[in-house]
Amino acid sequence: MKYLIVYEKSATGWGAYAPDLPGLGVAGESLEEVKQLIREAIEFHLEGMHQHGDAIPVPAATTEYITV
């Protein structure tokens, strides 16, 4: 599945989360680190959901840039 990931720069590093997977987020020092961490976190999260018989969320989030 293909999930939307939001990357955010902070004063001390980077964070990332997947809007379609509430509560799942990661933080790290570099964007590259966070990209790897979020991939691993999603894989682990979905595996756990599958093992517990929980429904896997269907990706539904979208993005758009608006010029103002």
Task: Express each pLDDT in 15-50 by its tens digit.
Answer: 999 999 999 999 999 999 999 999 999 999 999 999
**Residue 41's pLDDT is what?**
98
pTM for the predicted model, two decimal places:
0.90
Tokens linked to 27: 């933080």
Q: How many domains does the chain have?
A: 1
**What CATH number has the domain bearing residue 9?**
3.30.160.250
Give the whole-angstrom CA distance, residue 51 versus residue 62.
28
Helices H, strands E: what count in the chain? 1, 3
Domain of residue 67: give its range: 1-68
Distance CA 41, CA 68 (A): 35
